[in-house]
Amino acid sequence: MIRYFNVTHALTRGLARTFEDALALEPPPEPINIAVAHHQHNNYNELLRSIITNVVELPADDSCPDCVFIEDTALVISKSHAVVTRPGAPSRQPEPGPVAAAIHSLGIPQIDTLRAPATLDGGDVLVLPWAVLVGISRRTNNEAVSQLRTFLRDTGGPPLYVFSVPAASDVAHNNPLHFKSVLSALDTHTLLIADTPVGHAIADQIRAVPELSSSSSSSASAGPLELIFVPDTLAANVLSAGRHVVMQAGFPASETIVRAACDARQMQLHTLSMSELAKADGALTCCSLLFEAPQPQSPA
């Protein structure tokens, strides 16, 4: 049986006027066009509003050029538990405050906060209803994993599985920033993974975990996680909410694969261009937090 993500809320954050100063592993071939970036981000929010009941956009902070990448600031584990992160780049560490306040306002009762020397970007964490997958990367360290493991244990949360995000020098020319730079969840038991050396290195680690491994990449019933490879790295990062999936536009070979997977699961595929945000290493999941929030209490 296909299991969809139950998403009632999306948090997004405005695009800072200073976004052209956002961090990037490598300078883009062409400078960021701020006007186009704003247009693309507006389209992103409009699409989310068409598929998710409650979309809350927090205001941008021009002193934080990367603040649009709200995913890195918090993990919503369940409708009763969230974790405020401590981003790995020092310039980004002021970003979580307004996000934590927004999550608190939505009634999530348990909100934990990572403390120094822990560093963790949400882009390194894939939260499934039954497991949490974390990648150790240049932005996420072992101390953060240790603290997160304690939070999950103390709240009776899902088990935590830890992987290493290979450096480019280890696996040829690809240079990922985050764990989810090369993978994401299509549904709660299916991962899309970039068909690259880094993607395969991470897939091999996943297959080595008995609780996660699947004997085949073509059978949804073969194991807890089915792995589907796509040829384009950006196309491996998708948004999934209920029966809706959003992928980056402009990658026809990957779209054919993702569309077939969606059709098999009775999911609707949407495509969206976020090319200007990608110049700052931004993928689709980077720009939102999607989760199920508690139902508001009726007045007595």
DSSP collapsed to 3 states, the chain: CCCCCCCCEEEEECCCCCHHHCCCCCCCCCCCCHHHHHHHHHHHHHHHHHHCCEEEEECCCCCCCCCCCHHHHEEEEECCEEEECECCCHHHCCCHHHHHHHHHHCCCCEEEECCCCCCECHHHEEEECCEEEEEECCCCCHHHHHHHHHHHHHCCCCCEEEEECCCHHHCCCCCCCCHHHCEEEEECCEEEEECCHHHHHHHHHHHCCCCCCCCCCCCCCCCCCEEEEECCCHHHCCEEECCEEEEECCCHHHHHHHHHHHHHCCCEEEEECCHHHHCCCCCHHHHCEEECCCCCCCCC
- Please report which confidence band the pLDDT of residue 1 belongs to, taking 50, 70 and 90 as the band edges: low
The answer to whether residue 283 scores a pLDDT higher than 60 is yes
> In angstroms, rounded to a whole number, what is the distance separating the alpha carbons of residues 258 and 235?
9
Q: Is 41 a catalytic residue?
A: no
239 Rama sector, left if φ>0, alpha if ψ -120 to 50, beta otherwise: beta
Q: Is 178 a catalytic residue?
A: yes
Question: Which one from 67, 262, 286, 287 is the annotated catalytic residue?
Answer: 286
Question: Which one from 41, 178, 189, 244 is the annotated catalytic residue?
Answer: 178
Q: What are phi and psi of 236, to 5 degrees?
A: -80, -10
Question: pLDDT per residue over 144-168, tens digit each?
Answer: 999 999 999 999 999 999 999 987 5
What are the structure tokens assigned to 148, written together?
């997160």
Question: pLDDT per residue over 13-71, tens digit each?
Answer: 999 999 999 999 999 999 999 999 999 999 999 999 999 999 999 999 999 999 999 99
- Burial of 24 by CB count in 10 Å (0-12 exposed, 13-18 middle, 19+ buried)? middle
The answer to whether residue 81 scores a pLDDT higher than 90 is yes
- Please report which confidence band the pLDDT of residue 172 belongs to, taking 50, 70 and 90 as the band edges: very low
Token pair 């937090």 in the structure block, residue: 289
- Please report which confidence band the pLDDT of residue 295 belongs to, taking 50, 70 and 90 as the band edges: confident
Per-residue pLDDT, 200: 96
**Predicted structure pTM score:** 0.94
Q: Strands 125-128, 131-136: parallel, antiparallel or unpaired by DSSP?
A: antiparallel
Per-residue pLDDT, 213: 84
